[in-house]
Amino acid sequence: MSSMSRRTLLRSVAVGGAALSAPALLSACSTSSGDGDVSNAGKKLAPWPAYRPTAKAPKPDLEPTEAGVQAGYTAYPADLTQSVARTPGDGSTVKVMTVSFGVPPKPASANQFWAAVEKALGVKIEYTIVSQADYQKKMATVMAGDADGLPDIINMFSGFVLPREGQFVQRRAEDLTPFLSGEAIADYPNLANIPTHAWRDMGRIGGRIHGIPLERPLPGSTLWINQGTFTDAGMKEGWTSDDFAAVAKQATSGRTYALGAAQGSGFCNGFHSAAHNAPQGWAVSKDGTFLPGYADERYKASIAFRARLRKEGSFYPESTSVSQIDLTTLYYNGTVGSMQDGFGAYLPKYREAPDGMTPAAALPYSVGGTSGGIVAARRSFGYTVLKKAKKERIELLLRILDYLAAPFGSKEWELVHYGVEGTHFTRGKDGSPQPTKLGDVENNTNLPLKYLAEGPQVLFVPGMPDAVRALHAWQQKVVPHAVRNASFGLQSTTNNAKGATLQTLLDDTVTGIVAGRIPLSEWDATVKKWRAGGGDRMAEEFAKDHTANT
């Protein structure tokens, strides 16, 4: 089997996105009564930007659906379009800051990818790149600092709850409503190509639009399996939870385990709780009442099922301590036959799997005769805000983001995603970009422009049309059963103040139960403590904000 470099593994994890349990909630509210009101209740709500899909997009080979199945391309477009009419910049310097899942890039003076993007944008880029591990700490410093010292463009990563985030955005970031709301967004065609679902899941702050979302597909945390391993062990379409357990047990032998899990994932909490059709975080009833998924008996049943799988020996023994990066190594070298990762991880899964291994997204099993669900991801993988500035400066920054949000099939998309032909990539037999050795180092993982702005994602695996067909077929089967977190895009003061601490209480208890250190009977007491500590108050606040947005 092929060996994997740490850089390659970092790239794999980066593409995967949120891979652990329930996606972290974007909370953008004040923490005391003296803070500014960032809720949407009682506010005049700014209209969402008018959605204008690009007319120049290449026709997909596999059609998307209104329900959320992505467009699929089995071949790279032969004729790339031009999505931006003129160079957006004015030669000035633009300071940007984003989260990063890659390694530090080569400096601008020695980075041809960096230079090519600067030339195309017409600006000099001063980039502050923050690793995921340091993001919360760095953002706390930035948010507490002087307004004049802020970068021009800031990526607000939704993977963490940032205390008083909404307040910071409302006070320090430009209100983009006049530039983007309704028909105003027509001045930025690539931003207008971002579907409304991404703006909704980003959410308003105080009724206003303060950011630009990073659109993501509907499927979220996914169980990626080694198809051969699971098929040989008896996997079949339409399997039940008992079938899943039997296959996992059959595929486990010696030092090879059917099921891998990373620290913090709750033993693949997302996949299994959704398969049990448990609400992912929050559900909302017809009367607008918010119901916590953690208090749902289906969620508790999913914990018991994972405990059974662990007790039967199907989980990798170090699942409470192995990192997501190291788990990826174990998946590629065959030590584990599966791992939970974001759906966006499909590209590295197919391109970097060793010879003889066929990755696949697992279908959920049924429980008690009911078809299993999948995790519906937040449709916005964070959002981008702009430092307050004069109208002309904001318009320049929006033009830059409009360029970066170029759609698949455009020359701008190719440059931002692959760099310069002949330098960072060559053409494969199907015309698709194939990274060179330099392209493996100079790219938009290590220089993460894609976390500033990005066009709607599509299904495409260079040179692997069968993989695209398999992914599209999988989405057609599972998208109708996606379980959505009803709190996406909504505001809760209590979640902002206490959400992270309370979530840790729940996560630690789940891990303890599945690992066999805590009895299942302790779950109800934990949920009761969570509700008393702020969970019930969150429900009230989310319900109030939901009503305001309805």
What DSSP letter does each residue of 350-410 carry, written as one string? HHHSPTT--EEEPPPPBBTTBPP-EEEPPSEEEEEEEB---HHHHHHHHHHHHHHTPPTTB
Q: Which residue has the tokens 């799997």?
A: 353
Residue 11: what pLDDT? Answer: 46
Residue 102: what pLDDT? Answer: 86
Q: What is the pTM (predicted TM-score) of this model?
A: 0.90
Which letter does DSSP use for residue 480 in this model?
A: G
Beta bridge partners of 257: 336
**Cα–Cα distance measured from residue 337 to residue 428, given in angstroms and rounded to the nearest whole number:** 30
Residue 86, phi then psi, degrees to nearest 5: -145, 165
Contact yes or no for 376/270 (Cβ under 8 A): no
Contact yes or no for 16/445 (Cβ under 8 A): no
Helix axes 324-332, 6-16, angle to 10 degrees: 110
Q: How would you class 515 by CB atoms within 10 Å of its CB: exposed for 0-12, middle for 13-18, buried for 19 or more?
A: middle
User: What does the H/E/C string look like for 416-445?
Assistant: HHHCCECCCEEECCCCCEEECCCCCCCCCC
Strands 153-156 and 290-292: unpaired
Residues 449-487 as b or e (16 or more Cβ within 10 Å = b): bbbbbbbbbbbbbbebbebbbbbbebbeebbebbbbbbb
- Say whether 22 sits in a helix, a strand or coil: coil
Q: How would you class 138 by CB atoms within 10 Å of its CB: exposed for 0-12, middle for 13-18, buried for 19 or more?
A: middle
Residue 180, phi then psi, degrees to nearest 5: -125, -20
Residue 16: what pLDDT? Answer: 54
Distances (CA, A) of 403 to 122, 175, 198: 11, 20, 18
Residue 20: what pLDDT? Answer: 43
Which letter does DSSP use for residue 532 in this model?
A: I
**Cα–Cα distance measured from residue 398 to residue 4, given in angstroms and rounded to the nearest whole number:** 38
**Cα–Cα distance measured from residue 142 to residue 544, given in angstroms and rounded to the nearest whole number:** 30
As averages over each run of 10 residues, the pLDDT of the chain (550 residues) reads: 43 48 36 60 94 92 96 95 96 96 92 98 97 89 91 90 86 97 98 97 95 96 97 96 98 97 95 98 96 98 98 97 92 97 91 93 97 96 96 98 97 97 94 94 95 96 95 98 96 85 94 97 98 97 92
Residue 36: what pLDDT? Answer: 65
Residues 271-283 as b or e (16 or more Cβ within 10 Å = b): bbbbbbbbbbbbb
What is the CB-side half-sphere exposure of residue 235 using CA atoms within 13 A?
19
Contact yes or no for 173/154 (Cβ under 8 A): yes
What DSSP letter does each residue of 129-161 carry, written as one string? EEEGGGHHHHHHHHHHS-GGGS-SEEEE-TTSP
**Backbone dihedral region for residue 8 (phi beyond 0: left; psi -120 to 50: alpha; all else: beta):** alpha
Q: How would you class 116 by CB atoms within 10 Å of its CB: exposed for 0-12, middle for 13-18, buried for 19 or more?
A: middle
Residue 264, phi then psi, degrees to nearest 5: 90, -5
Structure tokens at 484: 């959505």
Residue 458, phi then psi, degrees to nearest 5: -130, 170
